[in-house]
Amino acid sequence: MHATLTEHARCVWGDEYRPTPECDRGHDERSFVEELTFADADAILAMLRELAPNLVDGHLPVWVRNLAYRLALLQRPDDPALMREAADSLYLHGPDWDDIATALRRRADTLDTPETDTPET
Protein backbone atom coordinates (compact mmCIF):
# COMPACT_ATOMS: atom_id res chain seq x y z
CA MET A 1 0.00 0.00 0.00
CA HIS A 2 1.20 3.49 -0.74
CA ALA A 3 1.58 5.97 2.08
CA THR A 4 -0.11 8.79 0.13
CA LEU A 5 -2.41 9.39 -2.81
CA THR A 6 0.48 11.23 -4.46
CA GLU A 7 2.71 8.15 -4.24
CA HIS A 8 -0.01 6.01 -5.76
CA ALA A 9 -0.52 8.44 -8.65
CA ARG A 10 3.23 8.66 -9.19
CA CYS A 11 3.43 4.86 -9.46
CA VAL A 12 0.57 4.71 -11.98
CA TRP A 13 1.44 7.66 -14.25
CA GLY A 14 4.97 8.68 -13.32
CA ASP A 15 6.18 12.14 -12.43
CA GLU A 16 7.65 14.78 -14.69
CA TYR A 17 9.91 16.03 -11.90
CA ARG A 18 10.95 12.92 -9.96
CA PRO A 19 11.74 9.35 -10.84
CA THR A 20 8.97 6.81 -10.46
CA PRO A 21 9.65 4.97 -7.21
CA GLU A 22 10.39 1.29 -7.01
CA CYS A 23 7.20 -0.52 -6.16
CA ASP A 24 6.35 -4.18 -5.79
CA ARG A 25 2.66 -3.78 -6.65
CA GLY A 26 0.89 -3.98 -9.94
CA HIS A 27 -0.93 -0.75 -10.63
CA ASP A 28 -4.03 0.07 -12.53
CA GLU A 29 -6.22 3.09 -12.87
CA ARG A 30 -9.11 1.39 -11.10
CA SER A 31 -7.27 0.99 -7.81
CA PHE A 32 -6.11 4.59 -7.97
CA VAL A 33 -9.64 5.87 -8.67
CA GLU A 34 -10.93 3.89 -5.69
CA GLU A 35 -8.36 5.58 -3.45
CA LEU A 36 -9.04 9.00 -4.98
CA THR A 37 -12.78 8.60 -4.44
CA PHE A 38 -12.38 8.36 -0.68
CA ALA A 39 -9.43 10.73 -0.24
CA ASP A 40 -9.87 13.94 1.69
CA ALA A 41 -9.50 17.30 -0.02
CA ASP A 42 -6.04 17.92 1.46
CA ALA A 43 -4.68 14.67 0.02
CA ILE A 44 -6.24 15.38 -3.37
CA LEU A 45 -4.84 18.90 -3.54
CA ALA A 46 -1.41 17.74 -2.37
CA MET A 47 -1.35 15.24 -5.23
CA LEU A 48 -2.45 17.79 -7.83
CA ARG A 49 0.01 20.42 -6.66
CA GLU A 50 2.97 18.06 -6.40
CA LEU A 51 2.46 16.22 -9.68
CA ALA A 52 1.33 19.25 -11.67
CA PRO A 53 2.75 22.29 -9.85
CA ASN A 54 2.38 24.57 -12.86
CA LEU A 55 -1.13 23.37 -13.77
CA VAL A 56 -0.22 22.75 -17.41
CA ASP A 57 2.44 20.16 -16.77
CA GLY A 58 2.68 16.73 -15.25
CA HIS A 59 1.70 13.28 -16.39
CA LEU A 60 -1.72 13.04 -14.78
CA PRO A 61 -4.37 12.49 -17.44
CA VAL A 62 -6.82 15.35 -17.85
CA TRP A 63 -9.71 13.14 -16.74
CA VAL A 64 -7.89 12.43 -13.45
CA ARG A 65 -7.32 16.15 -12.88
CA ASN A 66 -10.97 16.93 -13.59
CA LEU A 67 -12.19 14.17 -11.29
CA ALA A 68 -9.77 15.19 -8.54
CA TYR A 69 -10.87 18.82 -8.62
CA ARG A 70 -14.52 17.77 -8.66
CA LEU A 71 -14.05 15.56 -5.60
CA ALA A 72 -12.14 18.30 -3.77
CA LEU A 73 -14.86 20.84 -4.59
CA LEU A 74 -17.54 18.49 -3.27
CA GLN A 75 -15.69 18.52 0.05
CA ARG A 76 -15.05 22.27 -0.04
CA PRO A 77 -18.07 23.72 -1.86
CA ASP A 78 -17.52 27.27 -0.57
CA ASP A 79 -13.79 27.64 -1.25
CA PRO A 80 -13.40 30.39 -3.88
CA ALA A 81 -9.64 29.89 -4.27
CA LEU A 82 -10.16 26.19 -5.03
CA MET A 83 -12.95 27.05 -7.49
CA ARG A 84 -10.61 29.37 -9.36
CA GLU A 85 -7.83 26.78 -9.41
CA ALA A 86 -10.24 24.18 -10.79
CA ALA A 87 -11.53 26.68 -13.35
CA ASP A 88 -7.98 27.46 -14.48
CA SER A 89 -7.34 23.75 -14.99
CA LEU A 90 -10.54 23.38 -17.01
CA TYR A 91 -9.71 26.38 -19.20
CA LEU A 92 -6.23 25.01 -19.93
CA HIS A 93 -7.38 21.56 -20.96
CA GLY A 94 -9.89 22.23 -23.66
CA PRO A 95 -12.84 24.34 -24.62
CA ASP A 96 -15.29 21.54 -23.80
CA TRP A 97 -15.34 22.67 -20.16
CA ASP A 98 -15.20 26.44 -20.59
CA ASP A 99 -18.83 26.87 -19.53
CA ILE A 100 -18.18 24.94 -16.32
CA ALA A 101 -15.01 26.95 -15.68
CA THR A 102 -16.90 30.21 -16.21
CA ALA A 103 -19.61 29.09 -13.78
CA LEU A 104 -16.97 28.19 -11.17
CA ARG A 105 -15.38 31.63 -11.51
CA ARG A 106 -18.77 33.34 -11.18
CA ARG A 107 -19.54 31.30 -8.05
CA ALA A 108 -16.11 32.17 -6.60
CA ASP A 109 -16.70 35.86 -7.30
CA THR A 110 -20.10 35.66 -5.62
CA LEU A 111 -18.56 34.06 -2.54
CA ASP A 112 -15.84 36.73 -2.42
CA THR A 113 -18.32 39.60 -2.68
CA PRO A 114 -19.49 40.59 0.77
CA GLU A 115 -23.20 40.97 1.09
CA THR A 116 -24.29 44.46 1.91
CA ASP A 117 -26.68 44.64 4.80
CA THR A 118 -29.42 47.13 4.20
CA PRO A 119 -30.81 48.81 7.28
CA GLU A 120 -34.36 47.94 8.09
CA THR A 121 -36.75 50.85 8.05
21 sits in the region (left: phi over 0; alpha: psi -120 to 50; else beta) called beta
Residue extents of the structural domains in the chain: 5-112
Dihedral sign (CA 19, 35, 90, 47): negative
Q: How many CB atoms lie within 10 A of CB 64?
A: 22
Digit-by-digit pLDDT tens for the chain (121 residues) are 688 999 999 989 988 888 877 777 767 899 999 999 999 999 999 999 999 988 888 899 999 999 999 999 999 999 999 999 999 999 998 799 999 999 999 999 999 987 765 566 5
Long-range contacts of 28-33 (CB under 8 A, 24+ apart): 32/8, 32/64, 33/67
The answer to pTM > 0.85 is yes
What was the pLDDT predicted at 20? Answer: 77
What was the pLDDT predicted at 56? Answer: 82
How large is the angle between the packed helices 80-92 and 62-75, nearest 10 degrees? 160
